[in-house]
Amino acid sequence: MKKGALRRGLALFLLVGAIAGILLITTSLADTAQLVSPADACNTSLTAFNVTFNLTWDSGETLQNFSVFFGQDGTWSRNVTNATASNGNETLNNLTLLVSDDGVYNWTLEMVVDGVATLNDTNYTVTVDTLAPNASLIYPTSGNCSGSIYFNISANDSLSNVSYAAYRLDGNVTQTWIVMSYYADDKYNATNATTSLNDGSYNVSINVTDYAGNQNVSTVLTGLVIDNIPPSVLAVFLNRSSGASVSDTNFSSHIVTVNSTVVNNGTSISNVTFRYENGTNSSNWTQMTQLGSTYYYLGTLDFSTLAEGPYNISINATSFLGGENSTVKATGIVVDRTPPVTNVTIGPINDSDLDGNIELSWTDDFVEAAESYIILRHTSNISVYNTSVTNLTSVNRVKDGVQFYEDNTTSGNNATLYWYAIMTVDSAGNANFTANNTFMGVWPWNVTANDTILPKSPVSISCSASDETATIRWAAVTQDVNNNSDYYDVDYRIYRNSSTVDLSDLLLVNDTGSNFSYVKTVGANVTTDSVTETGVYHYIITSRDDLDSENKSYSAQNHCSVSLTYTSSSSSSSSSSSSSSSSSSGGGGTTSTGGVKVSHFWTNIAKGTAKMEISKNEIPFTEIAFNINRAVSQVTLTVEKLASKPSSVHSISSKRNVYNYIEISDTGLPDSYVTGAVINFKVEKKLILSNGSTAARIVLMRYDEDDDVWDDMQTTLLDKSDPLYYYYEATSPGLSVFAIASKSDDEVVEGTDEVVEETYTLGANETEAPAEEEEESDGWWSTTYLIIIIVVVVLLGIGGFLFYRKKKGLSINPMGLLPKKNSEDNLTKHE
């Protein structure tokens, strides 16, 4: 080996040895205190917080006292905790510092070892800030908007400064918080593209947080209207201005009312107009009038001056922001003032099947497209049309091509003469009123009806009981036993039997030995009946037509029985029947303790996964996604943050800190349908810190009703940046009562609660750079030797100074706020 290498090695050996020796001397002499928490120059909203230090002193010495000096602007107090330790390295905590006012506080510490007080060289600071930041909205101020909106707020905090500023819009869609950018003079701004939001009214909320964790969340503007979509014209229909029906109006004038339905989810409608169009010709736009505060708009249109032919109706709607929608909503409107030609050939008119209903038939040789027919009836020959004539088709005219009508409103006793006439109506509503041989008086026959056929018996009878009262229902009779129409003036007779009766041979309700007694006659297909004795009662319902022909037949379908319990009037209030309902709580099944709740309703949920998002800030759950194994309907899910532990569940181990109890209950969702759930939730950071826990220890617990135990759910800490909350995701086998808690020290696996420092090793293809050998001259050796001697002398001087300072109890205090030596007089001045 060359001389240069030997000399360098010897020099480095001497240098390393000297430094190691000096470090050994100084570390054995110094008593040190290393700050663990809180961090220097931190911000906090707490007025009472703990201080933790790592203390180091010689193993042969004894720690006698540890003091913290705390205060503002030279007014310092002394917080002393006597401490006893058995070794030379100890962590002391629970030195609680109390403050009464917000502000910046200075503090440092002193340790006494074997009667020697060592004052820490460093003064620390902490800012106590319990007040939320000031915040106000500058723009927008109010009104309506579309497109992009510029938001500008003023936000400041005199102590800990603003760390986070955001805003959101709350309306039919609630946005997540949108972070704003700082640009100057305590101003923050952001731009929102409103095209992603539904039109409508919104409130503007802001969220400003300082570095101490104080939060100012407030609604600063209400009624901000977003309107990006033009108004929608939903429907247009026409009415005769008189409101009269087709059967009794002269339509030669064709004055109609245009009815339009117009909606806009954003701003209000400012103007609605209409016009008619025929080919290339269009009328001027005509103003429409809003009907009260509804979505309906009315306008009057006179077709009497227009040429006959097809027309369209267009509607133009404009919002206050200028959004315009012009839409053709009514097409194929035909102006037709010419009545149709009527050439009717009369067919048979009689009651051929003796069911009491008169049948009419005819043929029309001049059939116009979409014609219809009006049937008129009177007690004498119809020679003129007036209001004394009965219009049998005022609701539904006989359609083109049917040309048959059965009058079901006649009385079938052969005592009344009926006269009939027919009117032809075209698709435009024009009726032929001409009194000629095709219309008036063409049926001069004395037509009568004779009903000889019994109505059908009622069917689908059901009975229900409430004390001594029976409620009986059945299907209304509409036909006779030959399946002809028979509903006019049909009524029903009620029969009752309270004795034990053999119905096996009963054919008619009045058979000998039936013992059924008549109760009453009703016109509707439901009735009630009350008794004065307790027992089982049988009911039979019969039908009777307008000729008083009663169908007294008995069958299982027009019979029912019911057990009635008679109660006296004095006790009826206490013994009357009552009913109650309860909903499944999806595994929860607990009694609410009066917290904050939110609910969501689904009309239908398909098999698979359904989600419920929760925006109420007081509830720690933010989203629930649950799986169901079959489709369900009419489901309500309620999430409630309980004010305390429900009485129906066991207490959680006292080793754990429980932050919240939350119950998920439901209506219409059986437990067996739910196969699992994923729950997202949040926990306040300062809440975890104040309880001496960590984010990694948080776990979601679920109460298992079947086993009567609390189970830990698989809980994952999410990588989500937020100055106020930690966010988690947990999986659960179902819905129930939940608790958010933190694991105790003895439950945490060693090492999982600590930060692991990363190390770096050389890769397979990496090598250290080789040292270069070179010949050194004697001059280099002399220079190196001289440097080593100087370093050793300096280190020896430092070591001697520290040794002297330790013996005298002195400490360096560069801020000059505390005494420099161990003097009880000096310490007293700072108490």
Query: Which comes out higher in pLDDT, residue 164 or 512?
Result: 164
Of 200-204, 471-475, 802-806, minimum mean pLDDT range: 802-806
pLDDT exceeds cutoff 80 at 500:
no
Q: How confident is the model at residue 314 (pLDDT cuts 50, 70, 90)?
A: confident
Whether residue 204 contacts residue 167, with contact meaning beta carbons closer than 8 Å, is answered with yes
pLDDT in tens, 321-373: 666 677 777 776 777 777 777 677 777 777 777 777 888 888 877 667 778 88
pLDDT exceeds cutoff 70 at 626:
yes
Which of helix, strand or coil describes residue 27?
A: helix
pLDDT of residue 78: 66
pLDDT exceeds cutoff 80 at 26:
no
pLDDT exceeds cutoff 60 at 764:
no
pLDDT exceeds cutoff 50 at 251:
no
Of 89-93, 442-446, 527-531, 741-745, minimum mean pLDDT range: 442-446
Q: What is the pTM of this model?
A: 0.38
Give strand ranges (E) for 140-214. 144-145, 148-156, 162-170, 178-179, 181-184, 187-193, 200-210
pLDDT exceeds cutoff 90 at 664:
yes
Query: What value does the mean pLDDT take over residues 225-252?
Result: 58
pLDDT in tens, 106-163: 888 888 888 888 777 778 888 999 999 999 999 988 777 878 889 999 999 988 899 9
pLDDT in tens, 290-303: 888 787 888 887 77
| 600, two tokens | 């969501």
pLDDT of residue 294: 80
Using a 10 angstrom Cβ sphere, with 0-12 exposed, 13-18 middle and 19 or more buried, the burial of residue 591 is: exposed
Query: Read out DSSP for 697-763?
Result: GEEEEEEETTTTEEEE-EEEE-----SSEEEEEEEESS-SEEEEEE--GGGSPTTTTSPPPP-----
Using a 10 angstrom Cβ sphere, with 0-12 exposed, 13-18 middle and 19 or more buried, the burial of residue 688 is: buried
C-alpha dihedral (779, 782, 788, 793), degrees to nearest 10:
-130
Query: What value does the mean pLDDT take over residues 764-768?
Result: 40
Query: Which comes out higher in pLDDT, residue 99 or 631?
Result: 631
Nearby residues of 245 by Cβ (< 8 Å), 6 or more positions away: 394
pLDDT in tens, 69-81: 777 766 676 665 6
pLDDT of residue 574: 32
Instruction: Give helix 778-808 / helix 3-29 axis angle, nearest 10°.
Output: 0
pLDDT exceeds cutoff 90 at 471:
yes
pLDDT of residue 623: 96
Angle at 615 between CA 611 and CA 618, to 5 degrees: 125
For domain 462-570, the CATH class is mainly beta
Query: Which comes out higher in pLDDT, residue 304 or 702?
Result: 702
Length of the chain: 831
pLDDT exceeds cutoff 80 at 803:
no
pLDDT exceeds cutoff 90 at 318:
no
pLDDT exceeds cutoff 80 at 237:
no
- Kindly report the average pLDDT of the chain as a whole number: 76
Nearby residues of 360 by Cβ (< 8 Å), 6 or more positions away: 347, 349, 375, 404, 405, 406, 407, 420
Q: Where in the chain is the domain with CATH 2.60.40.10?
A: 232-335, 462-570
Instruction: Return the half-sphere exposure (C-beta side, CA atoms, 13 A cut-off) of residue 89.
Output: 3
The shares of helix, strand and coil residues in the chain, as percent rounded to the nearest 5, are 10, 45, 45
Query: What value does the mean pLDDT take over residues 251-257?
Result: 54
Nearest to 414 by CA among 376, 447, 379, 387: 447
Of 67-81, 168-182, 213-227, minimum mean pLDDT range: 67-81
Query: What value does the mean pLDDT take over residues 10-29?
Result: 61
Q: Classify domain 232-335 by CATH number.
A: 2.60.40.10
For residues 784 and 772, what is the distance between their CA atoms, to the nearest angstrom? Answer: 18
Query: What value does the mean pLDDT take over residues 440-445?
Result: 43
pLDDT of residue 582: 30
pLDDT of residue 499: 64
Percent of the chain with pLDDT over 70: 72
pLDDT of residue 517: 83
pLDDT exceeds cutoff 70 at 470:
yes
Q: Where in the chain is the domain with CATH 2.60.40.650?
A: 134-226
Nearest to 648 by CA among 742, 736, 711, 580: 736
Place of tokens 């948080």: 698
Query: What value does the mean pLDDT take over residues 655-677?
Result: 90
Q: How confident is the model at residue 23 (pLDDT cuts 50, 70, 90)?
A: low
Q: How confident is the model at residue 187 (pLDDT cuts 50, 70, 90)?
A: very high
For residues 763 and 745, what is the distance between their CA atoms, to the nearest angstrom? Answer: 38
Q: Domain 344-425 is of which CATH architecture?
A: Sandwich (2.60)
Query: Which comes out higher in pLDDT, residue 393 or 583?
Result: 393
Query: Which comes out higher in pLDDT, residue 617 or 806?
Result: 617
CATH fit for domain 596-746, picks 1.10.3120, 2.60.40, 1.10.287, 2.60.220: 2.60.220
pLDDT exceeds cutoff 60 at 772:
no
pLDDT of residue 573: 33
For residue 241, give the amino acid letter: S
Q: Domain 134-226 is of which CATH architecture?
A: Sandwich (2.60)
Q: How confident is the model at residue 266 (pLDDT cuts 50, 70, 90)?
A: low
Whether residue 802 contacts residue 30, with contact meaning beta carbons closer than 8 Å, is answered with yes
Whether residue 174 contacts residue 202, with contact meaning beta carbons closer than 8 Å, is answered with no
β-strand partners of 49: 97
pLDDT of residue 355: 76
Whole-number Cα distances in Å, 355 to 453, 490, 830: 6, 13, 117
Whether residue 62 contacts residue 114, with contact meaning beta carbons closer than 8 Å, is answered with yes
pLDDT exceeds cutoff 50 at 469:
yes
pLDDT of residue 271: 84
For residues 440 and 423, what is the distance between their CA atoms, to the nearest angstrom? Answer: 9
Q: How confident is the model at residue 4 (pLDDT cuts 50, 70, 90)?
A: low
pLDDT exceeds cutoff 60 at 554:
yes
pLDDT of residue 590: 36
Q: How confident is the model at residue 636 (pLDDT cuts 50, 70, 90)?
A: confident
pLDDT of residue 17: 66
Q: Where in the chain is the domain with CATH 2.60.220?
A: 596-746
pLDDT exceeds cutoff 60 at 230:
yes
Using a 10 angstrom Cβ sphere, with 0-12 exposed, 13-18 middle and 19 or more buried, the burial of residue 57 is: buried
pLDDT exceeds cutoff 90 at 208:
yes
